[in-house]
Structure 1
Amino acid sequence: MAGCSIINTASVVTFEGNNNLIYYIATKGANIGVIRALMRNHVTKGVSVNAIYPGKIWLPLIPSNFSANQVPLTINPIERQGQSFKVAQNCHNIL
């Protein structure tokens, strides 16, 4: 088990809040609690436990939870939406 890694994705919206994403925020908040508990439980076993907060990522829940005028054209400073497959690629490259 030593040398293994557990990586979970969290969300910045957990800290910002949003009226339209209550259930999403609740599950991401629970993920943060689980990661913290796993970290404390596995630290002595040499297991790396981390959560990443990739920022605002384009997900299917965005257009399904917001009207067209609520969805921003750009949701991050580099003027393009983050993509979930890129987050997965970067996590894979880290390991």
Structure 2
Amino acid sequence: MVQVISCCGVICSNCQYYPNDCKGCPEVKGRVFWLEYTGEEICEIYDCCVNRMKFKHCGKCDSLPCDRYNESDPTKTQEENDNDFIGQLAQLKKMK
């Protein structure tokens, strides 16, 4: 199976919600299902990285990790969010 990786370093294809509830950020262009919990229309990280900065992923940005990474997934515990953050940064370093 081909890995689907979001610009923030999340491996979408490893997520429990992929592909039924979410096709991954590259496909949904940052309009992920969990935004219903935040009230946003588009993920701030995706919007900044892809739409504004025109990067393929955040590993290309000199400001990594920026304050946008301080936000937590409201469907996860703090420990899960912390572990995800560590994994995201590791993935982005590989992609750089």
TM-score (structure 2 length as normaliser): 0.34
Structure number having the greater strand percentage: 1
TM-score normalized by the length of structure 1: 0.34
Give the number of the structure whose alpha-carbon radius of gyration is greater.
1
Higher relative contact order (CA 8 A, sep 6+): 1
